[in-house]
Amino acid sequence: MVGSHLVCSDWIGKWDFSAFRRSELPFGWYFMNGDNYLLSSPQGQALNSLSANYKNDHRITIKTINGLQYINVPTAFAPDGRGCFIRAVDGTTRQVGSWEDDAIRNITARFGNILASKLDASGAFRVDAVASPAYGGNSSGWHTAVSFDASLAAPTANENRSINIGMTPAIYLGV
């Protein structure tokens, strides 16, 4: 017990997504944004009590700032501020706490020396007529420029994402 709050010491270091805003997190839960706490504070002591592997896996480090020692909570955010998806690891080829950079499945396309009309384009391809007639007086086609635009075939954004709902990433420290 801490005051009127029941503390579960087995949960210290547990991560979760909370339906509460960061300023309304329940007692013992902290926003996972990499904030530093004095090493001697209750939060710092809870963080420092975690195993060396846990601290290493989640980049929890002790540092000196203005002559005082601090320790940080983990972060659930990429350096550019985007939140991260959680993905299972197998514990052998990929470990807890390992980050993977952005990637999408490879999209490939190929076309050769073509004679096309606007009717020949589909999906993510677009044919832009540039000049008519085509080769040697042939008036049934155009010299073409072929464009590929994934947004013509699928929803696009400046990031990869699935349907999602916003939640607050939080770590339980029990203090």
pLDDT of residue 112: 60
Query: Encoding tokens for residue 174?
Result: 């029990």
pTM: 0.72
Range 53-73 average pLDDT: 96
pLDDT of residue 67: 97
In what order do the strands lie in the sheet containing 36-38? 36-38, 68-72, 62-65
Q: What's the rounded mean pLDDT across residues 130-155?
A: 68
Query: Is residue 6 over pLDDT 90?
Result: no
Q: 168 burial class (0-12, 13-18, 19+ CB within 10 angstroms)?
A: buried
Domain map of the chain by residue range? 9-102+167-172, 118-152
pLDDT tens digits, 20-37: 999 999 999 999 999 999
Q: What is the DSSP letter of 159?
A: S
pLDDT digits (tens, 9 = 90+) for 69-128: 999 999 999 888 888 888 888 988 988 888 888 877 777 766 666 665 555 667 777 776
The CA distance from 152 to 146, in Å, is 13
